[in-house]
Structure formats: C-alpha cells, structure tokens
Amino acid sequence: MRRLAYFQRLLRRLLAGADAATNRLYGWRYNPLYHSGALVVALFAVLLVTGIYLLFLYRIGAPYASIVRITDQVWVGRWMRGVHRYGSDAAVVAVAFHVLRMFVQGRSWGPRTLAWVSGLILLFVTFLCGWTGFVMVWDVQGQVLAQAGARLLDVVPIFSEPISRAFTGERALPGAFFFLNLFAHVALPIGLGILLWVHVSRVARPALLPPRRLMWGVIGLLLALAVVWPVTNTPPADLFTLPGPAPYDVFYAFWLPAARALGPKGAWALGLALSAVALAVPWWTRPSLSRRPPASGVDERLCTGCEQCYLDCPYEAIAMIDRDPAEVADGRSAVMARVDPARCVSCGICSGSCAPMGVGPEGRTGRAQLSTVRAFTVERRPSGRDVVIVACERGAGGIAAGTEVEGALVYPVSCGGNLHTSVIEYLLRAGAGGVLVVSCPPRDCCNREGPKWLEQRLYHEREAELHDRVDRRRVRLVYAAEAERWAVRAALQAFRATIAALDAAAAETDIVLENQCEVSTISAEVRR
Amino acid sequence: MSRMLQVAGGAVVAISVLAGVRLLSFTPYTAERDIGAVVRLAWRARGEQVRDCRRRSPEEMAQLPLHMRQEEVCEGRLLPYRLVVALDGDSLVDRLVHGAGAREDRPLYVFQDLIVEPGVHRISVRFTLEAPSAQHDSDHDGGDEARPAPQQRLALDTTITLGVRRVLLVTYDEERVRLVVRGG
C-alpha cells in the first residue's frame, strides 16, 4: 500500500511537470492535458462523422478492395480514413492521460468508484470497437488481430466449435463474418454512448466538450496529419501465407506480442490480472477509515433554504427537502438542504457557497474556517503591508505545504472552492495588506468546479459573495498548477507592487463576521 | 516566455505528438516470426456416437408426470478418434481427439498448426476410431453432415511442397469423403 502511494506521488509529480510545461505553451484554458476526458468525447464525435462516411463506401463482399478504393480517393476518402484512424489513436492517448490524472489525483474511490469502473469498461469497449475496425480492413493486421482474437475466444468453454476454424482457409470467409463485424463496429459506439452517460451520471454539469478553439485545433491537426502523412494500404489478408512484416497500430494491437509469447491461456491470465488490478484501484487508493475526509453535513438551524449549495455542488450530492411544517410555522424556510453521504466527495465547495455558514464537512464549514483564520491571525499577526497567500493544498505551486513564500504568509485551504469569502474579509480586517488567493487552474480542480465558483464569488456576486465593503484592490485571484511555483512568485511580486501603492491597512479588533454573512434573495428564476 | 517562443514551442510539441501518433500507428511488427512454414490440420467430423440407454421401471414411470413418461432414457457421446501425423517418417502428432463439449457429444474438431521447414516433405495423416465398442447401442446420427463412416479411418499419404512462410492445409473433403491438401 505504501508502494502504491509512492508510485501515485511519483506519477503525480511527473504529470504536474507536464501540466506546467503545457500551461506555458498553450495557457491553462487550452491545455489539452486538462481537457483529456472532454477531448475523448470530441474525438468520439469525429469518429462518428468520419465513420458514417466510410460506412457508405465499405463493402462487406469486398472489404479490402473497398478500403483500397477509399484510400485511393485522394481528396476526401483518404483524408476521412486518415482522420478516422488517427482520431481513434488520439482517443487512446487522451484516455491514457485522463485515467492517469484521475489516478494520481486520487479521484477513483468512494462516490467516484462508479465513474472509475465505468471508465475502465468504456476503455475496454473502445479497444473492442477498435479491434473490429481493424478487422474490417482485412489486411495483414486485420487478419492477425482476427486470428489472435479467435485464439483467445477458443479458450472460453462456451463455443462448441473453435472460432479459429473460421480462419483456416478450409472455406472462404463468409460475408456474414464481415457483416457481423461491421454490425459490432457500428453497435459498440452505441454502447459507448450509454456507458458515457453512466460515467458522468454522478457529476453535475459534466464538461463533455473541450473549449472550441482546442477542439477545432485538435481536429485541424488530425486532418493535417491525414493529408501530410496519409494512411497507407498494407498487404491484404492471405490465410495461406504466414503474416510477414507489416505496420501495426500499437494503440490497438499492443497486446499481440504478449498474447503470442504467453499463449491464449497466459494472455487471458495476464489480461484478467491487469483488469482486476485496475478495477481494484478504488479500494487500493482510498484512505484508511480514520484518514477519510468526512462527508458534508447541514446545520438545519442555520439553513435558510436558499438552494445555493444545492446549485453549486459538483456531484449532485445535495437535495432540497421539505422542512417539518412546525418549523416552517416558526418562520423557518420551507425547504432545507440535505447531503447524501454516498455521493459526497467531501470537496467542501458547499462550505464556500453557504453565506450563513450552515453546511460543509466537519472542520471546514464557514464557521470552522473563521475559527481557523482567527487563530492564524493571532499567531502570525499580518501587518498592513503583508500579503497573505490563501493557497489550495493541491495546486498553487505546492506552496501550501510551507508557511511562507518570499516573506508572504501562507494560509492553506483544502480547495479554492472550499474557501468562504468571509475568510478573505477577516484577513484584511485583521490587518493584512492584501490577500492573494492562489487556486488551481479551473479545469485542473480535483473537485471539478472549485475555482469556477470561487471566481464568481469574488468578482461576479455569486451567492456567498465577497461583500462590497471589502476593498477589491487588496484582493487578487490567480491560478497556478502544482508545479507552477514561478507563477505564484510572479503574481506575488505584481500584487505587492499594487499593495505598496495603497495606504497601510489598519487592523481591527474583535471582528465578528458570522452574523454579518446573510443570504441575499435569490431570484425566483434561479430557484426554479 | 515571449509570444514567439511560445507559439514556436507549441507548434513543435503539437507536431511531435502527431508524429508520435503516426509512428505508433504504423509500427513495423512481424506476427509469426521465426516460422518457416506451417502444416495446418483443420476439419470437422461427426464421428461415431454411442448411446447408453436403459428402460425406466414402472415405479419410476409412475413418479413422472404423464407428459414426461418416456420409456427409454439415453445419454450419448462420441467415441474418440486417434490422430497420428508423421512428417518424413518422424511422428509429429499422436493424440486422441474427443467430441467437443463438456459431455463430448458435439462433433469432433481437429485444429492444429504444425511448424515445419519449407521444402518437399512426405506427410502421413491417420484419423482412426480409437475404441469401437460392441456393447453400446451404436447410432451415427447422420443428418446431412458429411463424416467419416463408423470405424472407417481417414488417411492421407502424400508428398507436399511448402514455400517459405506458406500455410498448407490438410482438411476433409466432404464430397470426396477423404482428407485433402490445399494451399502450400
């Protein structure tokens, strides 16, 4: 278990480095590594469109000849086939990064188990779909994949006749084989669609597509690749000749050498063992019971029924339920929030969204945050020129692990979205010259929507907003990924220059904010 | 980082990733390395079926519902055949072929690849009923399937010429009711 944690940390460091490098080149908005999951969906759409075109030209009676004819169409057919092929390859790359990110960020256990397991099934179906696609071409690679697949199936004791006998050359391969293969290649994407729905069923507002510029950029690059370096025809399948050297697609045929070396039973054993390991990740990576973060709770006395936590929760873990009529008669709201612990990942975003500080995981509610910040200011005593950096523990250049960065005090929070805006107000009223909030880039948030809601609370008056009485010149929000300490330093330098131009802040004493955080009226439209 | 450097770096990375995808998409590989040629044995035969039958006693019959009172109960299976293959006088295969399925009541399938050196060889194939048994009720469940007749042996003795990396198929010709050679 300790080795797994070490392995996880190592991979996390590598990915953080890759994220930071890619952010420098493309900016966090268009960093493809942050949008790997959405890119898979976009590529899936590309495969559907190009696949429909290819479907019209594919002939079951002459599979190889029809593919050659498509490839010989210099203007459209070749490009379509190229984009279809390279798109399917790119989808595997994107899936690999998506799985890696979820694994290293520990987003695989608890309520996220369903997404992890359904994701693995999605991956398996994707490989299966790719397998049928390559067999459709019926070139050397298609033949080898078909024969290797048949050998694997022959081990399963449910077929009365060995599947491999279809490829002995004893009889001509029937059109029914290619029809079934084509049917599977068309039907499996429907299964992928259903699985995708299951995959995102436990998240609110799933980001199914990447930003347009990124999406069209990727599609354009795939098209350029298909034009500049087109897909070429390989020799046709010949059951009476042993397959010679030929180009293979590593993304879908990677298992062939292992299957050949281990034999069908060994390949099954290895495949099942790896699948079991992958499926067990949610159980392997979950923290021990004592270290597991608690689910959010609701203080019913404080809940005003405003629905903001219900609207902001990225996991649809909060429902609004009817309150006891007796309590309603006492002037309480008609509804109140209720957290479903089975869906709550303990992100604490509800803490940041609750103006009266009545919801959140134990120790991280708005009130608990005020207690913590009170203790922080007593201990650290920020002066009128000091900058306090409120840093996300998971990103923010990794500065949350320390207490100071270049003389600026560091105040760590579990997630930017968890931060209650009253903490910022408290820090300023306690004498800090400025508060630099450093959050993860929005698409890199382990809790999906933390930075998004934080930004709206600070600058767009989203409920539980930073009050107007707070001097906005003394508050700044910046995004920095885990390995972007340089970005934090640069932001700190710029912010200090701003603070230096202002008068030194004066510290107040006996600051009480709990009762000043009232919920404003939410429009009827939002309620609906 | 200057804007120019950023754009250039972004372009280089994108082109490198695309080149990587293309190279991995067309990676040279030889699926059946180090194999000169193959003799493939592949056929299907119904074989000889034996059935163990017994009559139900009147007491047993009485316990059954009316519509299930069959007097005779039979369980069938196929008798095994022995497959013997020799190449240039050297024995390559000598094994029993049982009926497929958990109860061995499905047809017999022969499917085996033998790796051999390319060139001219003398091949001998025998497929003979292993245990003909008189004490069983014999029934060869003909249907329209071509099959070796009960206790008949299928045999092939011929000279074959195998090209480099070629596959020669030994199979059963249903019309001629004998083993034949194809390909090579």
A160 reaches B (C-beta below 8 A) = yes
pLDDT at B142: 39
CA-nearest of A97, A331, A69, A55 to A210 is A97
Task: Check residue B13 and give its pLDDT.
Answer: 95
Q: What share of chain B is helix, strand, coil (3-state, %, to 5)?
A: 15, 50, 35
Q: Is the pTM above the cut of 0.90?
A: no
Spell out the alpha helix ranges (H) of chain B. 3-25, 58-63
B29:A245 CB<8 A: yes
Residue among A228, A241, A252, A255 with most chain B CBs within 10 A, to mutate: A241
Name beta bridge partners: B2: none
**DSSP state letters, A379-433:** HH---TTPEEEEEESSSGGGGGGSSEETTEEEEEES-GGG--HHHHHHHHHTT-S
* DSSP code of residue B23: H
Q: Which amino acid is at A490?
A: A
Evaluate whether B126 touches B149 at the Cβ level (below 8 Å). Answer: no
Asked whether A23 and A481 are in contact (CB, 8 A), the reply is yes
Judged against a pLDDT cut of 90, whether residue B170 lies above it is answered with yes
- Cβ A313 vs Cβ A378: under 8 Å: no
Hey, how many other C-beta atoms are within 10 angstroms of the C-beta on A183?
13
CA distance A225 to chain B (A): 7
d(CA A463, CA A356): 11
Choose, out of B4, B12, B13, B21, the residue to mutate when testing the contact with A (most A CBs < 10 Å). B21
- What is the interface size between A and B, counted as CB pairs within 8 Å? 119
- What pLDDT score does B147 carry? 47
Q: What is the mean pLDDT of chain B?
A: 85
Contact B25 A256 (CB under 8 A): no
On the question of pLDDT at B42 being above 80, the answer is yes
Chain B positions in Cβ-Cβ contact with residue A247 (cut-off 8 Å): 25-29
Residue A516: the pLDDT is 61
Tens of pLDDT, residue by residue over B106-162, are 888 898 999 999 999 999 999 998 865 544 444 444 333 444 444 468 899 999 999
Quote ipTM for the complex: 0.88
State the pLDDT at residue B1. 67
Q: Which residues of A touch B13 (CB under 8 A)?
A: 22, 25
pLDDT (0 to 100) of residue B52: 85
CB distance from A232 to chain B under 8 Å? yes
* Residues in B lying within 8 Å of A, measured between beta carbons: 1, 6, 9-10, 13-14, 17-18, 21-22, 24-32, 35, 37-38, 40, 42-44, 100-102, 106-107, 109, 111, 165-169, 171, 182-184
> Tens-digit pLDDT profile for chain A (528 aa)?
667 788 888 999 999 999 999 999 999 999 999 999 999 999 999 999 999 999 999 999 999 999 999 999 988 999 999 999 999 999 999 999 999 999 999 999 999 999 999 999 999 999 999 999 999 999 999 999 999 999 999 888 777 778 888 898 888 888 889 999 999 999 999 999 999 999 999 999 999 999 999 999 999 999 999 999 999 999 999 999 999 889 999 999 999 999 999 999 999 999 999 999 999 999 988 888 888 999 999 999 899 999 999 999 999 999 999 999 998 888 889 999 999 999 999 999 999 999 999 999 999 999 999 999 999 999 988 887 889 999 999 988 889 888 899 889 999 999 999 999 999 999 999 989 999 999 999 999 999 999 999 999 999 999 999 999 999 999 999 999 999 999 999 999 999 999 988 887 777 777 777 766 555 544 444 443
Name, in order, each residue with C-beta under 8 angstroms of A320's C-beta and a sequence gap of 6 or more: A305, A307, A310, A335, A336, A337, A338
Q: Inform me whether the pLDDT recorded for B175 exceeds 60.
A: yes
The bridge status of strand A434-439 relative to strand B137-139 is: unpaired
Percent of chain B with pLDDT over 90: 50
Q: Decide if A243 touches B, using CB distance below 8 A.
A: yes
